[in-house]
Structure 1
């Protein structure tokens, strides 16, 4: 069985104190879905805000508001991560490579139509087409088992990704109401637009941070 889920690559949050975060090490992949607790949601928000901190508005008197300000930028934001693909029968996993962004997850729709996409580096995963099948290689530098699935099945799996993200968005709304009430609505809207969550599942232009 093949499953695909959206994941975020955690930042280093050892000394983070603005709100509760999960005790995950840096570079751990957190799956975005409706099963995260508040600390897990806090980890996602802190990681993404920290990743985009070059755009922080330090004029904000409230430290939490200043830290969150990059997420409310009108051009959207970058989220380190992407889609993780697993073959549960063989245990083979393809993780998004370095510099891949979850905001570009809908580019997988291009692959389902026979197109190509970049999946990051270090490791350097890549996809190849073999007729109506898609072969996913976890790391081109280390040949090994591949994940194979029908391209026609990919769109159904991507619908599941969208549902995972939509479920996360509901948790984010609850989290923001508690930890960022003054910007809760704007924060939820920013995640929705930057990660293209509730838009219809079709190829659409994506944000560039």
Structure 2
């Protein structure tokens, strides 16, 4: 998890995915954490096997898996996708105030690197309903949970987290370390699940789809 001290507060940034409602789908072919739908699952090296199983079940929830829907069929279906996508993104927290900004509806973890656009004065699309947005406040960045009409009329109100603009690369590289740790955890899970080459290919596909290990080229402001 990326973190930075700012105004005596430690601002944290982490990759999260939204847990879908899996009640109407066939049960995952591996143990999966029993986490309430529409909650947020943090992704890092510390994920348990059950949390990894939930992450993979969420990846497969939007894809039709043909019977018998065992673990090999699910993984084959994931590997057949050109790009994997999943609801989620980056969550920013200020533990000193308890404020947390989460991804908006329809945001995807696959776009997490778009946050770097804020270094050049842009605000990436972070979802809607509510619509998170990044704005500049002097040399700092203000991450709004809802960049709605009040924000655009200049009334700086509502839930937000502030962080120094110069700290954003450090925070994003912290997220990258978390996601690299996730890949390592998935590799271990796949070995324990006896997936063989399927498991190796799955880890590679997740790395590719979510641009995890690629080097950074941060824009200049």
TM (normalized to structure 2)? 0.83
* SS of residue in 1 equivalent to 2:61: helix
- Larger mean CA deviation between 153-162 and 63-72 belongs to 63-72
Q: Map of 1:90-129 to 2, 5 A cutoff?
A: 90-129=97-136
**1:60-97 Cα distance to aligned partner (Å, 9 max, x none):** 76632332234213621111100000011111110001
Q: 2:183 aligns with which of 144, 161, 169?
A: 169
Gaps of 5+ in 2: 1-9, 151-156
- Larger mean CA deviation between 71-80 and 100-109 belongs to 71-80
Deviation at 1:161, TM superposition (A): 0.2
- Larger mean CA deviation between 11-20 and 113-122 belongs to 11-20
Distance 2:207 2:112 in 1: 13
* SS of residue in 1 equivalent to 2:93: strand
Aligned to 1:139: 146
Q: Is residue 5 from structure 1 mapped to residue 14 from structure 2 by the alignment?
A: yes
Gaps of 5+ in 1: 205-209
Distance 1:134 1:67 in 2: 41
* SS of residue in 1 equivalent to 2:22: coil
Cα root mean square deviation, aligned: 2.1
Contact between 1:70 and 1:77, CA under 8 Å: does it hold in 2? no
Contact between 1:8 and 1:81, CA under 8 Å: does it hold in 2? yes
Residues 177 and 94 (structure 1), Cα distance of their counterparts in 2 relative to 1, 3 Å cut: same
Which is greater in Rg? Answer: 2
Distance 1:69 1:43 in 2: 17
Aligned to 2:214: 199
Residues matched between the structures, number: 200
Deviation at 1:10, TM superposition (A): 0.9
* SS of residue in 1 equivalent to 2:208: helix
**1:118-175 Cα distance to aligned partner (Å, 9 max, x none):** 1101222111122321111112358523211111111100010000000111000011
Contact between 1:50 and 1:67, CA under 8 Å: does it hold in 2? no
TM (normalized to structure 1)? 0.87
Deviation at 1:18, TM superposition (A): 0.6
Aligned to 1:160: 174
Q: Is residue 34 from structure 1 mapped to residue 34 from structure 2 by the alignment?
A: no
